[in-house]
């Protein structure tokens, strides 16, 4: 059976093909493309930085919580402990250096810098005001690690130091 003429396919001629003009890349076009490609990259970098900041913030919050679990006492402890070593410092006497919170923070900083996660408490903290020409405050204490069963100790609940 033959197809009707309306369905017949005529051979294509080379001159009948339509040629589309090729776009010419201009400086404005290239600048637009560069900007369009750079924007998602900048967004990714900003998101990655925000993620790193969030992680660091959480890590810093955990470290601060860990520092606060390092207790400072003027007396002895009723639980067994191992003495790690002595702490002492002397500062010029003023309103800030005589403040209990300042003294505790400075002792915590010193103990963590020296013994890291091993230290659980600072005991036998004493202060002494003296100095001939300029008044000073001298602070001493003992850094200890608890050896018996304990709840809330730094070494029981803290994560490994990074």
Residue 155 inside a domain? The answer is: no
pLDDT score for 159: 42
Q: Is the distance from CB of 70 to CB of 144 less than 8 angstroms?
A: no
Kindly give, in sequence order, each residue whose CB lies less than 8 Å from that of residue 161, ignoring residues fewer than 6 positions away: 116, 117
Q: Does 77 share its domain with 144?
A: yes
pLDDT score for 59: 42
Q: Does 85 share its domain with 96?
A: yes
pLDDT score for 74: 93
- Digit-coded pLDDT (tens) for 90-139: 999 998 999 999 999 999 999 999 998 889 999 999 999 987 788 999 99
Record the tokens describing residue 130, joined without a space: 């003296």
Q: In terms of residue numbers, what domain contains 101?
A: 71-148
Q: Does 64 share its domain with 121?
A: no
> Using alpha carbons only, how large is the chain's radius of gyration in Å?
37
Kindly give, in sequence order, each residue whose CB lies less than 8 Å from that of residue 116, ignoring residues fewer than 6 positions away: 161
pLDDT score for 154: 62
> If pLDDT is split at 50, 70 and 90, which confidence band does 162 have?
very low
Record the tokens describing residue 41, joined without a space: 């990259």
> If pLDDT is split at 50, 70 and 90, which confidence band does 161 have?
very low
- Digit-coded pLDDT (tens) for 44-97: 555 556 555 555 554 444 455 566 678 899 999 888 999 999 999 999 999 899
Residue 104 inside a domain? The answer is: yes
Q: From edge to edge, which strands make up the β-sheet containing 121-130?
A: 71-72, 121-130, 136-146, 81-92
Residue 89 inside a domain? The answer is: yes
Q: Does 61 share its domain with 84?
A: no
Name the DSSP class of 153. Answer: -
Comparing C-alpha atoms, which of 21, 135, 146, 142 is closest to residue 73? 142
CATH of the domain at 126: 3.30.110.70
């Amino acid at each position: 059976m033959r197809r009707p003429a309306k369905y017949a396919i005529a051979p294509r001629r080379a001159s009948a093909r339509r040629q589309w003009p090729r776009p010419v890349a201009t400086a404005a076009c290239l600048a637009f493309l560069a900007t369009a490609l750079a924007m998602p990259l900048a967004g990714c970098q900003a998101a990655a930085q925000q993620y790193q900041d969030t992680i660091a913030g959480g890590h810093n919050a955990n470290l601060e919580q860990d520092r606060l679990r390092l207790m400072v006492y003027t007396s002895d402890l009723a639980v067994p402990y191992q003495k790690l070593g002595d702490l002492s410092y002397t500062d010029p006497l003023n309103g800030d250096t005589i403040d209990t919170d300042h003294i505790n923070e400075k002792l915590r900083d010193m103990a963590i810098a020296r013994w890291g996660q091993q230290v659980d408490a600072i005991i036998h903290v004493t202060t002494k005001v003296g100095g001939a020409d300029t008044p000073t405050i001298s602070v001493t204490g003992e850094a200890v690690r608890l050896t018996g069963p304990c709840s809330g100790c730094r070494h029981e609940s803290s994560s490994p130091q990074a």
